[in-house]
């Protein structure tokens, strides 16, 4: 059981990276990004393409991917999503659903349906022994990255001027604009940050395993379940929710190979029924 717990927690780190961009966009704009998983897959394929094009290693692909992702997220929000923002969530849901379809079909046209992965120079197969267990180096790095991203987001939102602006437009857009904030510019910055997190998630996913153009909905489901279990808009809650999901899946896989994902979905539904606001819902103000 100790090995199951450790592997589940490490898997939760990956799910946390999948989910934090979704948590940022919902926390600031109350926007549920249906294309979250597809953007993760897109980032993975772009990273693979960059590494192949320039002949660099996987770290060079990440360094190139992060600023590009920020610009894409910023411009997507400023030019496409901002006009859909309002009290009715349906327009933004429809737009992100459309983006999901476009990304999946575009990736299949450009890269075909074949899975791809980012060459890791053996990093995805390295492991070390701890207390009689063999633990992968890459899963540990992913979990550390998840902790760092979560801590950065919490610091950004709670201790910086930009974070106070994020919270202000989230709590009351009209009042914040009266006080001099430009809500649409704040939204664009938040989405840019969310896309940096998406890029990190896609980069790690392509290092960890192969990625196919149609993987987006599955990754969205894991991200959505982690956010709901932890509490919408709560960064540490998202991390905890992701670990709960990862541990639950590992327990299911240990009981029966076909039970892993099913048991994770079951826990998600139980939390949704018993505590729909999540384990650690975001506090306003």
Give the count of alpha carbons within 13 A of 14, CB side only.
Answer: 22
pLDDT surpasses 90 at 282: no
Q: What percent of the chain has pLDDT over 70?
A: 98
Please report the pLDDT score of residue 51 as a whole number.
85
Q: What percent of the chain has pLDDT over 90?
A: 60
pTM of the model: 0.92
Please report the pLDDT score of residue 129 as a whole number.
80
pLDDT range class, residue 52, cuts 50, 70, 90: confident
- How many CB atoms are closer than 10 A to CB 40? 30
């Amino acid at each position: 059981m100790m090995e199951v717990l450790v592997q589940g927690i490490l898997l939760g780190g990956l799910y946390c990276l999948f989910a934090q961009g979704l948590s940022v966009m919902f926390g600031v704009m109350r926007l549920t990004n249906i294309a979250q998983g597809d953007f993760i897959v897109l980032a993975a394929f772009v990273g693979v393409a960059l590494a192949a094009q320039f002949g660099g290693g996987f770290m060079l692909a990440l360094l190139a991917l992060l600023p590009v992702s920020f610009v894409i997220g910023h411009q997507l929000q400023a030019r496409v999503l901002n006009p859909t923002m309002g009290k009715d969530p349906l327009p933004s849901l429809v737009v992100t659903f459309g983006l999901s379809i476009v990304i999946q079909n575009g990736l299949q046209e450009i890269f075909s349906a074949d899975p791809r992965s980012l060459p890791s120079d053996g990093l995805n197969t390295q492991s070390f022994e701890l207390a009689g267990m063999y633990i992968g180096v890459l899963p540990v790095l992913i979990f550390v990255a998840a902790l760092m991203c979560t801590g950065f987001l919490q610091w950004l939102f709670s201790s910086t001027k930009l974070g106070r602006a994020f919270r202000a437009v989230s709590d009351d857009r009209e009042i914040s604009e009266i006080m001099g904030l430009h809500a649409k510019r704040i939204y664009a910055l938040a989405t840019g940050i969310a896309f940096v997190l998406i890029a990190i998630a896609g980069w790690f996913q392509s290092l960890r395993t192969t990625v196919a153009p149609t993987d987006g909905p599955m990754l969205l489901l894991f991200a959505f379940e982690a956010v709901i279990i932890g509490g919408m808009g709560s960064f540490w809650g998202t991390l905890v929710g992701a670990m709960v999901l990862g541990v639950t899946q590992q327990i299911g896989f240990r009981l029966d190979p076909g039970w892993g994902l099913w048991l994770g979905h079951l826990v998600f539904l139980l939390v949704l029924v018993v505590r729909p606001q999540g384990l650690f819902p975001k506090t306003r103000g």
